[in-house]
Amino acid sequence: MNSTALYFDHLYRHSDDPWNLREGWYERRKRSLTLALLPRPRYRNAFEPGCANGELTVELATRCDTLLAADLHERAVALARERVAGAPQVRVEQRTVPREWPTEAGPFDLIVISEFAYYLDAAELETLAARIAASLTTDGTLLACHWRRPFAEALESADAAHALFDARCGLSRLAHHDEADLLIDVWSRDARSVAQREGLL
- The CATH number that applies at residue 103 is 3.40.50.150
Q: In which region does residue 50 sit, left (phi positive, over 0), alpha (psi from -120 to 50) or beta (all else)?
A: left
Closest CA to 73 of 16, 26, 27: 16
Domain that holds residue 50: 3-197
Predicted pLDDT of residue 30: 96
Report the distance separating Cα 97 and Cα 109, nearest Å: 18
Question: For residues 60 and 46, is the Cβ–Cβ distance under 8 A?
Answer: yes
Q: What is the Cα Rg of the chain in Å?
A: 16
Q: What is the pLDDT along the chain (201 residues), one digit of tens a residue?
A: 455 666 666 566 666 666 566 778 999 999 999 999 999 999 999 999 999 989 999 999 999 999 999 999 898 999 999 999 999 999 999 999 999 999 999 999 999 999 999 999 999 999 999 999 999 999 999 999 999 999 888 999 999 999 999 999 999 999 999 999 999 999 999 999 999 999 999
Predicted pLDDT of residue 1: 47
Predicted pLDDT of residue 89: 98
**Span 31-48, pLDDT tens digits:** 999 999 999 999 999 999
Predicted pLDDT of residue 9: 66
Predicted pLDDT of residue 23: 77
Based on the structure, what is the number of domains in the chain? 1
Predicted pLDDT of residue 92: 98
Predicted pLDDT of residue 20: 63
Report the distance separating Cα 106 and Cα 14, nearest Å: 35
Q: How many helices (H) and strands (E) does the chain have?
A: 7, 7
Which alpha helices (DSSP H) does 41-113 contain, by range? 55-60, 74-83
Query: What are the DSSP E strand ranges found in the chain?
Result: 43-49, 64-71, 90-94, 108-114, 136-147, 172-178, 182-188
